[in-house]
Amino acid sequence: MSKLVIVESPAKAKTIKKYLGGDYEVVASMGHIRDLPKSKLGVDVENDFEPQYVNIRDKSDLIKSLTKQAKKSEQVFLATDPDREGEAISWHLAHILDLDLNEPNRVTFNEITKSGIESGMNSPRKIDMELVNAQQARRILDRLVGYKLSPFLWKKVRKGLSAGRVQSVAVRLIVDREEEIRAFVSKEYWSISAELLAKSSKKAFEAKLHSVSGEKIELNTKEETDKILSEINKSDFTVAGIKKSVRRKSPAAPFITSTLQQEASRRLGFQSRRTMKAAQELYEGIEIASLGAVGLITYMRTDSLRISDEARNAAYDYIGKKYGEKYIPEKPNTYRSKRNTQDAHEAIRPTVIDLTPDEIKDSLSSDQYRLYKLIWERFMASQMAKAQLNTVSVDINVGDCGFKASGYSVKFDGFTVLYEEAKDDPDENNNVLPDLEVGQVLKVKSINGNQHFTQPPARYSEATLIKALEENGIGRPSTYAPTITTIISRNYVEREEKRLKPTVLGEVTTQLMKDHFKQIVNVAFTAKLEDSLDAVGEGKTEWVDTLHSFYDDFDKTLTKAEEAMEGKRVKIPDEETDVVCELCGRNMVIKLGRFGRFLACPGFPECKNTKKIVTEADGNCPLCGSKIHEKKSKKGRKSYGCGSYPDCNFMTWDTPIEEKCPQCDSTLFKKGGKNAKIHCLKPDCGFEKAAD
């Protein structure tokens, strides 16, 4: 008889089977097989929140197959993902397969490699009921909020709406930011800068006015600025002081889930869902030429910065051979994890250091390669020596006015030879200064008074929203991607130029929640609740007590809200556009229907004109020259078609780009995947080239 190992996905099963050999059967549960029912609350709130789990309907054949295989197996190992959700799936499997919860039949793999699988199989344990209860508490809490609040929103705002413990706070953050932007009053201010030349150099450097008569100066008007400029023009620019030092720049820590999502958004333009999909594939195993299926990264849902000694030593070996011994730090770089970190896993890192991105590029899809390259480079850089920068700060006097200039040059590139973290707001000053001496008079190339206006805070991008959620303790790493997907799919939030903007529906719903359910959308309260749920997983708190502490007040709040809103309904104001109704000349408005947003004439019922909302893409149709429109399939996949449809039926999955074809001047398209390329789709042209 063989031993049975149950994992969550077929890809993972295939990779693990390769290492375990013929004595084991490895099968996939395809995620959860048991859950709360969809058609009702499924939680007995009068009986300590007892959950009423049911087998997932479309998993009945799979459950029969797993049960049959388990009965004829010598032993069953539950090898679902090494986190709360995976622990709960194993617990549900144990119930369905009638396994003894006191038996050591639970195994976990931090990485899907030979050593990772051997380590996991050699250390079976009992199912961790504290982790299971932590997952149950979260699942039940989310069910209570969703199933109790959503019907309230249906009655008071619109049918089909939903509320969520994490999603409602995420929407509030985006709405609050939009209100900040609207309330922002821009203020004028001025600065003075000079382009200066030293005798020893032909390249000018910039210095900025810092003080007048030893006091820091703020310029608010052109008149103030012109007055100082007139004084400056009477005197020479003289070097008053020079301060030189060496600054050490540390590498960024290896990735955790949230920082991976942020960096992939900033650097690759990936949405969080896209990042996690590619990361899951890299973890579960990729067919590598000559090696077979290999799990390329460690588990991708983690908030720990811990690195194993084995991985660090492997990195040092590679760094020493590739870059030289001076690129290995004298003592290991250390990174401090945030509070409440679940330290069961390492940080996200490559499992086999010697499998460089370029070596295995041909075995990876475009997304897999780009994300693996990011993870590999970030981890390697995190284990390298610090960069050293020669910094110079110069004080320059002009009469009573003091100017400052600063800059740096690279003394030792260290980790930056490989990788530097992208920034949301890059502000690094690389103003290389010439050799200067105290008392030296500088030649003036130009002096300028510069007008500025203060800017409102920027809307959240996916990266900055994830950062805000993490910093405020809202949700956990595994929830960020599905939360963002949900609030967009439910039309509470929309993307505008890669930024997240609340819809009218999102603003109206958030205001209603602020008025009647303050705690649900309160950032501090939600963060405290997250801590309570974490305490369940650590065995510090009973999960039923945690649910009572939340639900008892929540139920009273819901009753009060229903009484206060008796007979009332919130009207969603129409969002006017600049699209003119061709039938009656009114500006059309955006409405939300069963199939999403659409344009409608505000003159209804006199004018019943409606239109689809069209998103124009870059470029023009290669067949007829009309504008290209972006479209989405039911599953959310983007396609591109001619705006003159049905007169022209051009359609492609490839993305149009701004670049024109050098042969025929038509719009070029970028094809993704393993064989990514840029090509022309105009008939009889045939131009193509490799994608960058």
Give the residue numbers annotated as catalytic, written as ranges.
299
Residue 148's nearest CA partner among 516, 601, 683, 652 is: 516
Pairing state of beta strands 655-660 and 667-671? antiparallel
Element (H, E) at 248: strand 237-249
CA dihedral 110, 112, 114, 120 (to 10 degrees): 40
Contact of 523 with 472, CB cutoff 8 Å: yes
Q: What is the spatial distance between Cα 175 and Cα 460, in angstroms, rounded to a whole number?
A: 10
Pairing state of beta strands 667-671 and 441-453? unpaired
Tokens 């439910």 belong to 490
Look up residue 336 and give its DSSP letter.
P
Tell whether omega for the bond before 646 is within 30 degrees of 0, i.e. cis. yes
DSSP H helical segments within 324-460, as ranges? 366-382
Strand, helix or coil for residue 602: coil
Distances (CA, A) of 211 to 235, 392, 396, 401: 15, 19, 11, 6
Radius of gyration of the chain measured on its C-alpha atoms: 30
Residue 648's nearest CA partner among 621, 629, 619 is: 621
Tokens 């009573």 belong to 400
Contact of 286 with 363, CB cutoff 8 Å: yes
Q: What is the spatial distance between Cα 140 and Cα 142, in angstroms, rounded to a whole number?
A: 5
Element (H, E) at 309: helix 309-323
Q: What is the spatial distance between Cα 661 and Cα 653, in angstroms, rounded to a whole number?
A: 18
Contact of 664 with 680, CB cutoff 8 Å: yes
